[in-house]
Amino acid sequence: MANTNDRHLEPIFILSCVRSGSTMLRCIIDTHPNLCSPGHLNLGPLCADLYTTTYYSLGKLPELETEVQRDQLAIKETRRVVTDLLGRYAQGKGKTNWCEKSTVNIDYLEILAKVFPQANYICLYRNCLDVAYSSIKFSPLGYMPELAPYVQKRPTNLVAAMIDNWLDKTGKLIAFEQTHAGQCIRVNYEALVKQPEQVLAKLFDFLGEPWDEDLIDRIFQVPHDQGDGDVKVWFSEKINKDSIGNGTAIPLTAIPNELMAEVDTLHRQLGYPTIEFQYAEQQGDEKRTLGDLDLNDFFQNRFLRNSAARMDKFSQLQGVCKFVITGLKGGVWTIESHSGDLTLQEDDKPSDCTIATTYKVFHELIDGRKTAVNAYEQGEITGDGNVVMALEFGRLLFGGEF
């Protein structure tokens, strides 16, 4: 059992990439009788600003002669301000300690460690593909500020942008965990939602707090302060496992090879399977659960027949589009539009643009269980190359009933 006197009065931080379950975890912690956890407070940026303000004001008074003195004063004053503020918050909630979960804190680990050298950290991880899928699904009308730089870097491949974000944040978190091992406990989102009793018993033991299994039943019954984070939590009645494994709806071709290798390296460190293995499992599921759709018959007959009838709307479309369906029953088709005529081949020749999806999603599109717009917004259809041309070919392919 952890020593309560050593741990329970030290502040707690949940560190994670976006879309990793931190809102749910902070509600769990907030349910504990001794702990409170507010919405995003962005304490990392706050500490950085307080440190700078103190250093360049009080730190410049004549009695402070050295850089070490100025640094120590800035750290002390920053800690005093934040501790007083959150201490009063905890007291007002009838709790003895506080926990902060802002995802932006992962970019301010150095200042947090200086201001709170004895703090405890919950390092929350989630499978890269599921984070990427959830990030795209959550952001059809705009991306969280933390994701914007990655989208700006890869504006034509949002899947790669979301993976870049995961790699950056997860790499920082693993490095921090390794250098502060005694203050960190690792929690995997998948284990948390599948086996909450075992994971939470270990977590609260680490924090030096008593564990009561009835806490799980109270999570969605007691009030929690709302704030930035996953709004689905406020409409939930239980811990949900349904979002595990959804990331393989992302077309494999949307993941650049160099990123795939980097993801696999971090996945191995975290106990997750490689990307290739996850897609192989997905193909096995497809074989068991999906009906047969003859893709060659679809493209050579239904697609060409229906598209030819609508070519008057696409008379200006000139170019070659590669259509890739990943999965056990997938393939590659090249569609060329020239002077109002369409030609189609099952091959992988050079093209102006590429549209990709998985066999499972394509099956749902053809069956009418999903729309192309919804699939695109959730990252289940991706475009590459000439994006404008890919959009036109997408309208031609999915714009009518089949």
Rounded to an integer, the average pLDDT of 46-69 is 96
Beta strands 35-36 and 120-125, pairing class = unpaired
pTM of the model: 0.78
- For the chain, the domains span 4-245, 295-398
313-343: per-residue pLDDT in tens? 777 889 999 988 877 667 888 989 887 788 8
14-56: per-residue pLDDT in tens? 999 999 999 999 999 999 999 999 999 999 999 999 999 999 9
More confident residue, 150 or 296: 150
Q: Within 13 Å, how many C-alpha atoms sit on residue 149's CB side?
A: 6
111-126: per-residue pLDDT in tens? 999 999 999 999 999 9
Q: Which of 72, 58, 193 is nearest to 124 (CA)?
A: 193
The widest CA-to-CA distance across the chain, in whole angstroms, is 85
Residue with tokens 């997860």: 170
How many Cβ atoms are within 10 Å of 163's Cβ, its own excluded? 27
Instruction: Identify the three-state secondary structure at position 125.
Output: strand
* pLDDT at residue 93 is higher than 60: yes
The pLDDT of residue 343: 85
DSSP string for residues in 358-397:
EHHHHHHHHHTSS-HHHHHHTTSEEEEESHHHHHHHHHHH
Q: Do you know the residue count of the chain?
A: 402
- How far from each other are the two terminal CA atoms of the chain, in whole angstroms? 63
* pLDDT at residue 286 is higher than 80: no
Across the chain, mean pLDDT equals 87
Q: For residues 111 and 331, what is the distance between their CA atoms, to the nearest angstrom?
A: 50
* pLDDT at residue 6 is higher than 70: no
Instruction: Identify the three-state secondary structure at position 2.
Output: coil
Q: Which residues pair with 323 in a beta bridge?
A: 333, 355
Rounded to an integer, the average pLDDT of 366-395 is 81
Alpha helix (H) residue ranges in 252-371: 257-270, 275-289, 295-297, 304-308, 359-367
Instruction: Identify the three-state secondary structure at position 333.
Output: strand
What is the percentage of the chain residues whose pLDDT exceeds 90?
Answer: 53
- 6-15, 71-80, 198-207: range with lowest mean pLDDT: 6-15
Q: For residues 26 and 189, what is the distance between their CA atoms, to the nearest angstrom?
A: 13
4-245: CATH topology:
Rossmann fold (3.40.50)
Q: For residues 344 and 325, what is the distance between their CA atoms, to the nearest angstrom?
A: 15
More confident residue, 197 or 396: 197
Phi/psi at 45 (5° precision): -60, -35
Q: Which CATH number fits domain 295-398: 3.30.70.1880, 3.40.470.10, 3.30.1050.10, 3.30.230.10?
A: 3.30.1050.10
Q: For residues 296 and 303, what is the distance between their CA atoms, to the nearest angstrom?
A: 10
- 6-15, 220-229, 291-300, 319-328: range with lowest mean pLDDT: 291-300
In 94-223 the beta strands, taken as DSSP E runs, fall at 97-100, 120-125, 184-188
142: left (phi over 0), alpha (psi -120 to 50) or beta: left
The pLDDT of residue 4: 41
More confident residue, 65 or 5: 65
Q: For residues 223 and 207, what is the distance between their CA atoms, to the nearest angstrom?
A: 22
Helix, strand, coil percentages for the chain (3-state, nearest 5): 55, 15, 35
* pLDDT at residue 231 is higher than 80: no
Cα 237 from chain centre: 22
Burial of 317 (0-12, 13-18, 19+ CB in 10 A): middle
Query: Residue 3 — very low, low, confident or very high, per pLDDT cuts 50/70/90?
Result: very low
* pLDDT at residue 382 is higher than 50: yes
